[in-house]
Amino acid sequence: MKKQKLNNDTLMPIIGLGTFRSKDEDAYNAVLTALKTGYRHIDTAAVYGNEESVGKAIKDSGVKRKDIFVTTKLWNTEQGYQSAIKACNDSLKKLGLEYVDLYLIHWFKGYENSIDTWKALETLYEMGKVKAIGVSNYNVHHLQHLLDNAKVKPMVNQVETHIRLQNEFLKDFCKNNGIQLEAYAPLMSHHIDELLENETMQEIAKKYKKSVAQIAIKWLTERDIVVIPKSVHSKRIKENFDIFDFSLDDEDMNKIKELNKGEKYFPEFDNVMF
């Protein structure tokens, strides 16, 4: 499977399983199915309330720990130096893991706060409890402030990215600064029906004998963006992973590029009220 090299040489599988809104048994079964299918990357977060189920599935899968890339995220209420260290330890305990491969600040919560929090992530990184550190829901101005103040550069920025919100400028900024862009909501999340009904996407899917979801995922990986589609259904988990036997030609990549509307379905980063 294709892997992206992070700025500390860690390898991050280009596709992983998302687990937002996957609860208890559903989360456990989804992670188990994904690992059996060949996924080697799982995305969770403290706020999803499923770290225990995710960790149990990882353990029960029989796949070696070193072969799985696990991401979790620091929730907003736990920002600040001491609370972030404690939150990471709590997440590790729930996951039943000695380390995670990537630890992210979930949302930007103010300039001063974010640097104190980042220092905690740097400490956790130095301790080896997290193998890579990064942020989520950061725009260019948030990233620039972090880069100006960080000892360890962020390795990843996980943001909403899909055919209606293509983030070309943010992607270039990240690339120029050694930050890997990771797409959440790659299937447009709660707007998935609009994606599946899009006529351009349907035409392209027909041409490659693939589903619209597969085309949407492939279009991101072709742009070297890490992608974490979520499903709790075995058939879809398998379908979303079955994207390595074809390539999209330039004409189709450009057709999809034209679908961009700059349309966001999650809160705007500077106005997070939670």
Q: Report the C-alpha gap between 14 and 84 in whole angstroms.
A: 27
For the beta sheet containing 17-18, the strands, ordered from the edge strand earlier in sequence to the opposite edge, are: 17-18, 41-43, 69-74, 102-105, 133-136, 156-160, 180-184, 226-227
Is 48 catalytic? The answer is yes
* C-alpha 170 chain-centroid distance: 15
Residue closer to ligand NAP (CB basis): 100 or 213: 213
Asked whether the beta carbons of 181 and 170 are under 8 A apart, the reply is yes
Q: Rounded to the nearest whole angstrom, what is the least distance from the CB of residue 237 to ligand NAP in the complex?
A: 8
Residue closer to ligand NAP (CB basis): 185 or 204: 185
Question: Which has the closest alpha carbon to 109: 142, 133, 84, 85?
Answer: 142
Could you list the residues that contact ligand NAP (CB under 6 A)? 18-20, 43, 106, 136-137, 158, 184-189, 192, 211, 213, 228-233, 236, 239-240, 266
Q: What is the DSSP letter of 6?
A: P
Q: Report the C-alpha gap between 103 and 92 in whole angstroms.
A: 11
Q: Rounded to the nearest whole angstrom, what is the least distance from the CB of residue 258 to ligand NAP in the complex?
A: 20
Token pair, residue 217, equals 């995922």
Residue closer to ligand NAP (CB basis): 4 or 128: 4
Catalytic residue among 48, 103, 125, 138, which?
A: 48
Q: Report the C-alpha gap between 227 and 266 in whole angstroms.
A: 17
What are 3's strand-pairing partners? 13
Residue nearest to ligand NAP (CB): 18
Q: Rounded to the nearest whole angstrom, what is the least distance from the CB of residue 198 to ligand NAP in the complex?
A: 13
Q: Rounded to the nearest whole angstrom, what is the least distance from the CB of residue 211 to ligand NAP in the complex?
A: 6
Q: Rounded to the nearest whole angstrom, what is the least distance from the CB of residue 240 to ligand NAP in the complex?
A: 5
Residue closer to ligand NAP (CB basis): 27 or 124: 27
Asked whether the beta carbons of 71 and 232 are under 8 A apart, the reply is no
Question: Which has the closest alpha carbon to 125: 7, 218, 16, 37?
Answer: 7
Residue closer to ligand NAP (CB basis): 46 or 232: 232
Q: Rounded to the nearest whole angstrom, what is the least distance from the CB of residue 212 to ligand NAP in the complex?
A: 8
Residue with tokens 């209420």: 77
Token pair, residue 9, equals 């040489």
Q: Report the C-alpha gap between 166 and 89 in whole angstroms.
A: 34
Residue closer to ligand NAP (CB basis): 180 or 240: 240
Token pair, residue 197, equals 């009904």
Q: Report the C-alpha gap between 4 and 9 in whole angstroms.
A: 9
- The residues annotated with a catalytic role in the active site are 48
